[in-house]
Chain A
Amino acid sequence: MAARAIWKAVIQCGKYQVPVKLYSAIEDRNIHFRILSRKDKQPVKGAMVNPETGKIVPHDKTRRAYVAENGDRAILETTELDALEPEPSRNIETIAFLPAEQINHRWYDRPYYLGPDGNSKAYFAFIEAIESSAMHGLMRWVMRGKMYMGALRLHQGYPVLITLKHADEVVAIEDLVAPGGADLNPKELEMARQLIGMLEDELELSAFHDAYREQVLKLVESKAKGGPRLKLVKPSSKKPNDDLGSALQASLKSLKKSA
């Protein structure tokens, strides 16, 4: 079954255009719980409360405020905030094409597939041109009142637009200092290298599945039928092996045996 497009747009690349449709690349498989009241097992209602009076403040009486460092608050009206939002547009602007490594994947947020909107001639020509350039596009667009930056790249031969986080949302590794200590023992490093080498294989993502999710659904089913409450059995916590050298040696030995 074909997926439904969430948005229509036109990519502007230099003086050329590509009409596209956006599709979410993500399939939500999370289990969604509701918050219930313990007493009547029915969903609760959320409301904004003034903690001093304990009274509910109706929605039309609520405002947003910016709180300054000293605690002073500037009240911002919805109309004022809306006026700061960008003008709606159907265009996805191309800001630049860059070597792939220039757009760090740590900025990646949500991926969307791009499909052709109407005539697919320009769409496929654009794919071909991106492919031969071996570069990634840096794009900007306004969708549903919000401005986005995105990376444009190919995945399995099709264009994917990935929204990017703001620079200050991602903690830079350069700003952190790795744990220090005495130099590592070269013998232990060599053993760790061997151990990781023995555990190396190709990545087959489809080999992994969310078994826990299935267990949660089974638990729901069992409880719905009046099944017993699950009790937590604390696993005996493994004592961390302080002797790194002997732990590595024993690991290599047991792996060689099973090989």
Chain B
Amino acid sequence: MADEPTEETEILKPFWSGVVTFGLVSVPVSLFPATRGTTLRLRMVDDKGNLLKRRFFGSEDSKPLDAKNLVRGYEIEKDRFVIIEDDELEALDPEKSREIDLKLFVDLNTLSPLYFERAYFLVPNGGSTKAYRLLAETLVQEGRAGIATFVMRGKEYLCAIIAERGILRAETLRFSDELRSPKAIGLPEMKSVDAAEVKHFTQAIKGLKTKTLDQTELKDQRSARIIKLANKKLRSGTDIVKASTDDEEVEESSTNVVDLMEVLKERLQGKLRERSASQSKTRQPKVSELRSKSKAELYEMAQSQNLPGRSKMSKAKLIDALTTQKSL
């Protein structure tokens, strides 16, 4: 298998927060990914089924290194590294780390999607949504995209700010030297073509012509097959390790899984749901307390807190949702 199993990661935090500016107008925004990984997440376990975590070790240490003791290094010659700290990267261009300054607007149709790399939704970051809506509305009406470079997580990105249905999105673009040309690849010059052969292909293409894309073609069949196998095992009880009641690892990991959709929906409506730590401490129930309650009781609690998606949640999901509220 080519893909590594992932560790559950928190997707709640925005990838970037700052302002989008055009002229003297500034729009405070946060960027959230517009794509998510596959729904299937396999975890690494040992042969007894205990969940494992990836840790890093130095050459002389038998204990894993914590984040404080891990640094980023650039290899200048074999085995010689220069350490670069986070704040040094930020110090290189603090302006661009906080601002997407749109000094250029282009016709949306002139952007080749081959340059598009990753997409992020822009959500208004507190305060009035007026400037956000004004930019989105104008871009839609005019069929334009705003172009700028900015720095996110230690890397500069060229991006196009596009609006669709009132929602702003940043598509990061490959720099022109990151997309090769046919010439650089060494593709041969077009030769005169055989008309009869072109006709064959034209007919073949006609025969394959379809008006609309059947989206089921894009379904993740591989994940579906793996889930099917796993469910078969879970039903029959083969190769199964039951969750233990004090399995903190599971709790810890499942509480991090928050649906990107829910976050996007809330943030687009300007809901920040900020709560003071003390407040959440007194209000937040313990997992063990919740486990002893019935599903109906949990549902009632979810209802009183207006938890989104509660009607579709299992008992375990309800417990997760009730105990992770504070992090939203």
Which residue in chain A gives the minimum CB-CB distance to B77?
A224
Determine which of A2, A39, A97, A209 lies in contact with B205 in the assembled complex, contact meaning CB atoms within 8 Å. A97
Number of interface residues of B (CB under 8 A): 183
What residues on B are CB-neighbors of A97 within 8 Å? 205, 208-210
A201-B217 in contact (CB<8A): no
Chain B 69-87 residues near chain A, CB threshold 8 A: 69-76, 79, 81-85, 87
What residues on B are CB-neighbors of A206 within 8 Å? 176
B43-A160 in contact (CB<8A): no
A241 to B21, CA, bound (A): 11
What residues on A are CB-neighbors of B70 within 8 Å? 35-38, 44
Which residue in chain B gives the minimum CB-CB distance to A212?
B156
Asked whether B12 is an interface residue with its Cβ less than 8 Å from the other chain, the reply is no
Determine which of A16, A125, A166 lies in contact with B193 in the assembled complex, contact meaning CB atoms within 8 Å. A125
What residues on B are CB-neighbors of A127 within 8 Å? 190
A128-B193 in contact (CB<8A): yes
Determine which of B26, B94, B218 lies in contact with A241 in the assembled complex, contact meaning CB atoms within 8 Å. B26
B88-A166 in contact (CB<8A): no
Asked whether B277 is an interface residue with its Cβ less than 8 Å from the other chain, the reply is no
Chain B 99-157 residues near chain A, CB threshold 8 A: 102-107, 110-116, 119, 121, 123-124, 127-139, 141-142, 144, 146-147, 149, 151, 154-156
B167-A65 in contact (CB<8A): no
What residues on A are CB-neighbors of B222 within 8 Å? 84-85, 146-147
A37-B65 in contact (CB<8A): yes
Asked whether A63 is an interface residue with its Cβ less than 8 Å from the other chain, the reply is yes
Chain A min CB distance to B190 (Å):
6
Contact with B along A240-252 (1 / 0, CB 8 A): 1110100110111
Asked whether B239 is an interface residue with its Cβ less than 8 Å from the other chain, the reply is yes
A157-B190 in contact (CB<8A): yes
A121 to B316, CA, bound (A): 61
Query: A13-B204, A39-B69, A126-B201 given as contacts; is B133 within 8 A of A179 (CB)?
Result: yes
A213 to B175, CA, bound (A): 12
What residues on A are CB-neighbors of B187 within 8 Å? 113, 115, 158
Asked whether B296 is an interface residue with its Cβ less than 8 Å from the other chain, the reply is no
B234-A164 in contact (CB<8A): no
A173-B164 in contact (CB<8A): yes
B201-A16 in contact (CB<8A): yes
What residues on A are CB-neighbors of B178 within 8 Å? 26-29
Asked whether A219 is an interface residue with its Cβ less than 8 Å from the other chain, the reply is yes
Which secondary structure dominates chain A's binding surface?
Answer: mixed
Which residue in chain B gives the minimum CB-CB distance to A102?
B213
Query: A25-B179, A73-B43, A145-B2 given as contacts; is B155 within 8 A of A212 (CB)?
Result: yes
A244-B134 in contact (CB<8A): yes
Chain A min CB distance to B327 (Å):
19
What residues on B are CB-neighbors of A26 within 8 Å? 174, 178-180
Which residue in chain B gives the minimum CB-CB distance to A57?
B46
Query: A13-B208, A125-B201, A200-B105 given as contacts; is B133 within 8 A of A35 (CB)?
Result: no
Asked whether B272 is an interface residue with its Cβ less than 8 Å from the other chain, the reply is no
What residues on B are CB-neighbors of A195 within 8 Å? 22-23, 25
What residues on A are CB-neighbors of B215 within 8 Å? 167
Asked whether B249 is an interface residue with its Cβ less than 8 Å from the other chain, the reply is yes
Query: A27-B177, A192-B134 given as contacts; is B227 within 8 A of A66 (CB)?
Result: yes
Asked whether A41 is an interface residue with its Cβ less than 8 Å from the other chain, the reply is yes
Asked whether A138 is an interface residue with its Cβ less than 8 Å from the other chain, the reply is yes
B91-A230 in contact (CB<8A): yes
Asked whether B290 is an interface residue with its Cβ less than 8 Å from the other chain, the reply is no
B92-A178 in contact (CB<8A): no
A40 to B57, CA, bound (A): 12
A237 to B139, CA, bound (A): 26
A102 to B68, CA, bound (A): 48
Chain A min CB distance to B288 (Å):
14
Q: What are 23 A-B pairs with beta-carbon distances under 8 A?
A: A35-B70, A41-B71, A47-B57, A48-B53, A63-B47, A64-B42, A85-B222, A98-B211, A106-B35, A108-B114, A120-B188, A128-B198, A133-B206, A179-B124, A179-B132, A180-B129, A181-B129, A200-B106, A205-B176, A211-B149, A230-B91, A230-B92, A240-B127
* 7 A-B pairs closest in CB distance: A251-B23, A71-B243, A178-B166, A2-B186, A14-B204, A105-B113, A212-B156
